Structure 1
Amino acid sequence: MKAGSNLLNAVSAVALSASLVVTGGSVATLVSATAAEAAVIRSIQVRGAERVSAETVKANVTIVPGKNFTNADIDASVRRLFSTGYFSDVRIAVSGSTLVVTVNENQLINQVVFNGNRKIKDDKLRGVVRSQSLGPYSETTIEADIQAIRDAYAAIGRSDATVTTQVHPLGNGRVNLAFVVNEGDRTKIGNINFVGNQAYSNSRLESVIITKESGIFSWLTRKDVYSEDKLRADEEALRQFYFNHGYADFRVLSSEAVLDESTNEYTITFTVDEGQRYNFGEVNVESTVEGVDPEELRGLIESRPGKVYRARDVQETMSEISSRVAAKGYPFARVTPRGNRDLGNGTIAVDYLVDQGERAYVERIEIRGNTRTRDYVIRREFDIGEGDAFNQEMISRAKRRLEALGFFSTVNVSTAPGSSADRVVIIVDVQDQSTGSFGIGAGYETGNDGGFKFEASIEEKNFLGRGQYIRVAAGAGSNSRDYSLSFTEPYFLGYRLAAGFDVFSRENDSEDFYSVDTRGFTLRVTAPITEELSTTLRYNFTDFRYKSSNLAKLSSPYQDVVNGSPWVRSSVSHSINYDSTDDRITPREGILANITHEFAGLGGDSDFYKITGKARYYQTLMDDADLIGSLTVGGGHVMATSGRLKVYDQFTLSANDLRGFESGGIGPRATSTGDALGGTTYFTASAEVTFPLPFVGRDSGFRGAFFADAGTLYGNDVRTVAADAVRGTDMSWRASVGASVIWASPFGPLRFDYAFPVKKESFDETQRFKFGISSQF
């Protein structure tokens, strides 16, 4: 009797009348809410469910029999049931000791189809919409799907696309759903204008921003697609450009895009205030952290007094100081630059203050916007993870790494408060861009065995969204065939080690009295030392097969290798690489350098030690004219560690090392046959100036160049007989001058060179025309 009285009191407390009325997918009103603070029910009854099981409904109800519940629990249950998408109406009421859940089911979608879409295929649209076959039919979801399809079309420049739906009932609560797309015309960007710029011309600023005016290749590059996100990214690109050229007060006053509906073209206008140009003034380091000596940190300063003010120098200095202090055991230390402007002298004095920041930890890293690149590819660029001490400089460094990958058109890293005061959420917003390219090349060699050579390659820098690099190339000429495959995994075994391999096969019949087939592979691993410095270890294996139909006419070094074919070279090599350039595609400042030493003798037929090096320095000569100069020097020497060198172990210079000459076209040769023997030592030098082509829009990606090359290849350590003399062993320099057209094409960087030898030997083989893939190094 007592138990029954308690139950009656509990039920009476609810007043038997709490209910929610829901219509059209949203909570309309609370019809009556006379429930007390808490109540208890014994069971849950489901009404109206036919296709959806009662157990599924109960699983989405947060109220548990035998436990107290309130109106807040009823509200949460209703919202949870609606979130499944299976119901158009939901009512929850209490009847006695039973919770009654009454539902009206949505229809089920039998099939989702797309009509009218030609520019975006069905499979891509299916990945955009949430409505799926055998899923619930929901008006709310469909409205969101319509907007998602429109957004997809806006991303390819068709912002006026319209989407409607058609529903075909099939009976038994099932329907077919069709999205009908009117793709409309493609919107273009007719003009990009700048207002307020004095230091730099419109064309120079157009080369800085991501958005480009429409051109003949815009359908491939998609850089003429307008979006608010790209406009914001362009504003940031302009700010960074000016901040890195001394204009610390630069502001974007406004940016607007106006659509001319008659031409379906946007006109984009940036209004800017450049401000004054500054140099660095006095630079100091201060510290309030006990145990951190400012004097030890001065050597890390990149911002030197008298230099043009660059925000990049300030950022790099902050990063270096932060890393050094964190390594000394102060993970929460904060580095803050304080600038003091002297308007009269046009200088900014900078003090770097190291103090103890607030203790905060990373709660999670949230990644958004990546439709192709896997999450882990983005996460691994962060040196911190969930639970680590929050460090703003490490976040900035990760942002720079993500931008340097070349996988994304925009990268934005922000923070949000976490679940408590000492927790921070890192939010990474990215937008994937095309990372594949198709390269083509051609060249023409003069001489008796001359002719055209062609090559083609397919390259993908973000293979399957995993950040892996793969390249397949093939080439052919009148007397040669080349094939190669390269693959790189940038994070081998989860470490920042770029491991990969190269496989190649070359067949060369260009010589008069012999041919050679070369096959081999390289295994390599690269480890970073600093952000600009890295080291590479390689194992190299090459199999040489020389053939001749007239052995008697061969020079003696080639008679040896033909008689002993096949020959094997097995070696290990080690390289130190340095890269401080500001851009991977068109460097304007910085240095590319490499030094490699190689030891052969791990089995095989070769025994030598070889050292090579190359460095290229870039400097902007005229900023507004975008005139870029570069100087390149290189050299190498090889010596036998046992016996004499083999003819295939000596150096040969390629057509890229010394333009105007054929690959293997200079250096020691046998006088009897003219066979190229290679040399033991070489030096090369080059000076080049590149510039935007006149009368061609800078957005087209075309640049011109003038260059002068010089080089020498000399010395010989292969065995010859007395009757087979060798010429060209002295240090005789060759030189050439020429002009180039460089195109940053949608297929990859291409280059056409015309070089005229101005100093050469009578036995050299020349190649004036060359067309192929552009290489910076």
Structure 2
Amino acid sequence: MKAGSKFLNAVSAFALSASVVASGAGVSVLASASVAEAAVIRSVQVRGAERAGEEAVRANLTIQPGVSFTNVDIDESVKRLYSTGYFSDVRIAVSGSTLVVSVSENQLVNQVVFNGNRKIKDDKLAAVVQTQPLGPYNQELVNSDIERLKEAYSAIGRSDIEVTTQVVPVGQGRVNLAFVVNEGDRTKISTINFVGNQAYGDGRLQSVILTKESGPLSFLTRKDVYNQDKMRADEDALRQFYYNHGYPDFRIISSDAVLDEASNQYTITFTVEEGPRYQFGEIVVESTVDGVNSEDLQGLVRTRAGDTYDAADVQKSMEAISQRVASAGYPFARVTPRGNRDFNNQTVGVSYLVDQGERAYVERIDIRGNTRTRDYVIRREFDFSEGDAFNQQMVTRAKRRLEALGYFTTVNISTAPGSASDRVVVVVDVVDQPTGSFGIGAGYSAGGDGLILEASIEEKNFLGRGQFIRVAVGGGLDDARSYSLSFTEPYFLGYRLAAGFDLFKSQTSSEDYYDYDEQGVTLRVTAPITEDLATTFRYTYKEIEYTGDGAWDVGTNLSEPYRDLIRQGDFVQSSVSQTLTYNTLDSTTLAREGIYATVTHEYAGLGGDSEFYKIYGRARYYHLLSDEADIIGSVAVGAGHVMGTGDSLNVFDQFMVGGRQVRGFENNGIGPRMANGDALGGTTYFTASAEVTAPMPAFPEDFGLRAALFADAGTLYGNDVANSAGAVGTDMSWRASVGAGIQWASPFGTIRVDYAMPVVKEDFDEEQQFRFSMANQF
């Protein structure tokens, strides 16, 4: 029996040795299927591994001495050795009881350089390619790197790029690799057409999509770059636009991009079918879950019978119902909308069905595409984590939150099967975008301070941590100066609390009597109450210094409190405040629908020299007056009142009103003031404003140029500081102005120019007809 075993082993070894051959590509495999018995070797001999080393070769073998193996093991060993990228040829043979592995080593890459590239820097291209210095030179990998470089250039609109390589031996088995880039001309988009649209013109639809036609400033915006992923995103944007404006039957028939090679320009055509416009019909909530009363959920529904159909309101209703049911102890409950379409009346009734969904848990959350924003910044926008119950409405809410951050150009969330039938993998795909900005504000007063400037720089995703930081400086031709620094951590101590601080310092000079300096700090924390409502608590400590110029030594007719205030001295103001903010705007850049309102009450008297109670607020309502023409109307109102809780109010305790609220006047241009023009402030104010904006005629709508007509009104009256001689304008006299403006969403940021003419004013008011402002993303 023992002799027979030796005979079989010898025959097996001979068969293996005879059947190992090299293929044309250099891969050695077992070509014979005649080996019926497993073979055993006693040793492994490696030949040709001078740089890689014998141990590196042995580590990639699935064959070990003393362990039986077959042709499958040899094939797997060859594949493993090739996958390292260090070998151009691998041969495996059996000689007696020895496995002989012969390899030919690839050359090593000494240096990788890029020639001819101007539009993309070397460090960016180096991050694209996979061939790296001190790694093996592999032609297949180099070929794939060439395709990666072409994709990188295609992403910036240079589809006709050519990439070749140069390989220069430098000795000792090393080579220098150069990618030679011919960037070519930038591919542009000549025309974006829409076919089949009746309700909205081409210009309105072009403002909805991300892709734009090429223009004089397209080299800055890069929005005229054709990309298939952007086309898909544009299709989604068009669907959401129509679904949210009453067209549930809308569909995209086709979207085509045709390249004219002669001009190197694309013509993009979207063929659509709008369908009829619908309104909401009957709205009901039904529940099949024991313990969940459908009547209790009816108040959470945002859709109303008779309103224009809006898919966004349907989604928000689903989320609100799902959140209420989950908080009641039903985490797997599912909310499903069912549409009941009436073709004759063109209405869609919606039934929100609450039933017990399948039990599924989140196995993990995979985040992809974020090159700057850190993973935890994205994860914290989800109301669930790994191991929690899966809820589709929570996924949709997280998507909306991520989009609202402004950190990403696109956000897509999908699901994939997990390791078990009740496990789900949530996949988050994002694309980072610039989140820094700088701003310049300017105003001009012909009879006052002359040119006034303010510059600021801010970053709302600082170091990819989601933190906000802003630095601003301002000044005029006189001695006015201002400085501020703000910082906000949006998730303080891991909770959804936005905590931060503001440091500020400013100095102004009176026309005749005093210099005013202030500096201080504000500590604040903001907590959400609902998706639309938040509250902010603040503590402010402020030091104020007045420096007189000697005029008070001559004597005046001012009342004693004001004389005491103006003379040289230091004052301290210590206050706490709370603000409620209500925000339902549909966009943070160009709001068309929604309300933004704030109301604040403040108490000062925690030490210091100020003792008062203030309450003030402002609300603005936006409404789309014309869908087709994209005409937006807005109205705003504001009011405030302050009352002293001590002996008297100081000048700096009262309200100042001017050009920020009533355009056409200086910042502190209306209300009580001294005969020499110094503003005293007031105890009560009211403001109102109405504005209409529309795309500028003769300009493409996606150019972002809009015209505005506005009317402002306001009054500031009452004064607890100077109630005797020397003060004017303490009565309730209204001021009003009308004007026009131009707003441009330019590549440099949003630029706005306003010209306002006061039509109701007092002789002592300070006017400022022209205002300019700019904010820029970088």
TM range (shorter): over 0.9
Q: 1:399 to 1:82 in 2, by over 3 A?
A: farther
RMSD: 2.6
1:475-514 Cα distance to aligned partner (Å, 9 max, x none):
2211222222222222223322222222222222253322
Q: Which residue identity does 2:541 align to in structure 1?
A: F
CA contact (8 A) 1:686 1:708 kept: yes
Shift of 1:183: 0.7
How many residue pairs get matched? 769
1:306-349 Cα distance to aligned partner (Å, 9 max, x none):
11110001100111111111111222211111111110010111
1:355-412 Cα distance to aligned partner (Å, 9 max, x none):
2222222222222222332222222222222222221111111111121122222222
SS at match of 2:662: coil
Q: 1:294 to 1:8 in 2, by over 3 A?
A: farther
CA contact (8 A) 1:45 1:100 kept: yes
Aligned mates of 2:69, 2:270 — CA distance in 1: 58
Instruction: Provide the residue aligned with 2:309 in structure 1.
Output: 309
CA contact (8 A) 2:195 2:272 kept: yes
Percent identity over the alignment is: 66
Shift of 1:95: 5.2
CA contact (8 A) 2:449 2:476 kept: no
Instruction: Provide the residue aligned with 1:212 in structure 2.
Output: 212
Structure 1: runs of 5 or more not aligned? none
Aligned mates of 1:643, 1:40 — CA distance in 2: 103
Aligned mates of 2:512, 2:155 — CA distance in 1: 57
Is the deviation greater in 127-136 or in 266-275? 127-136
Aligned mates of 1:665, 1:258 — CA distance in 2: 58
Q: State how 1:669-680 maps to structure 2 within 5 Å.
A: 669-671=673-675, 673-680=676-683
1:659-681 Cα distance to aligned partner (Å, 9 max, x none):
1110111111234x432111111
Instruction: Provide the residue aligned with 2:704 in structure 1.
Output: 701
1:221-264 Cα distance to aligned partner (Å, 9 max, x none):
11111100111111110000000011000001011111112222
Instruction: Provide the residue aligned with 2:82 in structure 1.
Output: 82
Instruction: Provide the residue aligned with 2:465 in structure 1.
Output: 466
Is the deviation greater in 216-225 or in 60-69? 60-69
Aligned mates of 1:284, 1:613 — CA distance in 2: 37
Instruction: Provide the residue aligned with 1:320 in structure 2.
Output: 320
Q: State how 1:477-556 maps to structure 2 within 5 Å.
A: 477-479=476-478, 480-509=480-509, 511-552=511-552
Shift of 1:350: 0.9
1:637 aligns with 2:641: yes
Q: Which residue identity does 1:697 align to in structure 2?
A: P
Q: 1:44 to 1:736 in 2, by over 3 A?
A: farther
1:748 aligns with 2:749: yes
Instruction: Provide the residue aligned with 1:455 in structure 2.
Output: 454
Instruction: Provide the residue aligned with 1:575 in structure 2.
Output: 579
1:618-661 Cα distance to aligned partner (Å, 9 max, x none):
10001110000011111111222222222111111242211111
CA contact (8 A) 2:381 2:398 kept: yes
1:111 aligns with 2:114: no
Aligned mates of 1:648, 1:24 — CA distance in 2: 85
CA contact (8 A) 1:164 1:180 kept: yes
Aligned mates of 1:497, 1:639 — CA distance in 2: 31
CA contact (8 A) 1:363 1:387 kept: yes
1:48-94 Cα distance to aligned partner (Å, 9 max, x none):
22222333334444556666666555554444433333222334455
Shift of 1:450: 2.8
Q: 1:651 pairs with 639, 651, 655, which one?
A: 655
Instruction: Provide the residue aligned with 2:713 in structure 1.
Output: 710
CA contact (8 A) 2:753 2:773 kept: yes
SS at match of 1:566: strand
Q: State how 1:93-108 maps to structure 2 within 5 Å.
A: 93=93, 99-108=99-108
Instruction: Provide the residue aligned with 1:589 in structure 2.
Output: 593
Aligned mates of 1:735, 1:28 — CA distance in 2: 90
Q: 2:693 pairs with 690, 694, 706, which one?
A: 690
Q: Which residue identity does 1:590 align to in structure 2?
A: G
Shift of 1:23: 6.9
Q: Which residue identity does 1:147 align to in structure 2?
A: E
Aligned mates of 1:6, 1:504 — CA distance in 2: 92
Is the deviation greater in 486-495 or in 272-281? 486-495
Instruction: Provide the residue aligned with 1:344 in structure 2.
Output: 344
Aligned mates of 1:760, 1:47 — CA distance in 2: 97
Q: 1:597 to 1:162 in 2, by over 3 A?
A: same
Q: 1:517 to 1:193 in 2, by over 3 A?
A: same
Shift of 1:206: 0.7
Aligned mates of 2:738, 2:723 — CA distance in 1: 38
SS at match of 1:443: strand
Instruction: Provide the residue aligned with 2:434 in structure 1.
Output: 434
Q: Which residue identity does 1:482 align to in structure 2?
A: S
Shift of 1:44: 4.7
1:543-590 Cα distance to aligned partner (Å, 9 max, x none):
222223234177565543454533222222221111111111000001
Shift of 1:278: 0.5
1:181-219 Cα distance to aligned partner (Å, 9 max, x none):
111001111111100000011111111111111122211
Instruction: Provide the residue aligned with 1:372 in structure 2.
Output: 372
Instruction: Provide the residue aligned with 1:668 in structure 2.
Output: 672
Structure 2: runs of 5 or more not aligned? none
Aligned mates of 1:550, 1:638 — CA distance in 2: 31
SS at match of 1:377: helix
SS at match of 1:337: strand
Q: Which residue identity does 1:745 align to in structure 2?
A: S
Aligned mates of 2:386, 2:75 — CA distance in 1: 33
Q: 1:681 to 1:693 in 2, by over 3 A?
A: same
CA contact (8 A) 1:367 1:428 kept: yes
Aligned mates of 2:378, 2:631 — CA distance in 1: 35
Aligned mates of 2:76, 2:608 — CA distance in 1: 75
1:266-286 Cα distance to aligned partner (Å, 9 max, x none):
111110000011111111111
Q: State how 1:549-628 maps to structure 2 within 5 Å.
A: 549-552=549-552, 559-563=563-567, 565-628=569-632
Is the deviation greater in 365-374 or in 746-755? 365-374
Is the deviation greater in 226-235 or in 598-607? 598-607
Q: Which residue identity does 1:516 align to in structure 2?
A: Y
CA contact (8 A) 1:21 1:30 kept: no
1:692-735 Cα distance to aligned partner (Å, 9 max, x none):
011122122111111111111112222x485x442222221111
SS at match of 1:314: helix
SS at match of 2:389: coil
SS at match of 1:578: strand
CA contact (8 A) 1:534 1:577 kept: yes
Is the deviation greater in 74-83 or in 396-405? 74-83
Q: Which residue identity does 2:455 align to in structure 1?
A: A
Q: 1:323 to 1:77 in 2, by over 3 A?
A: farther
Instruction: Provide the residue aligned with 1:735 in structure 2.
Output: 736
Q: 1:149 to 1:7 in 2, by over 3 A?
A: farther
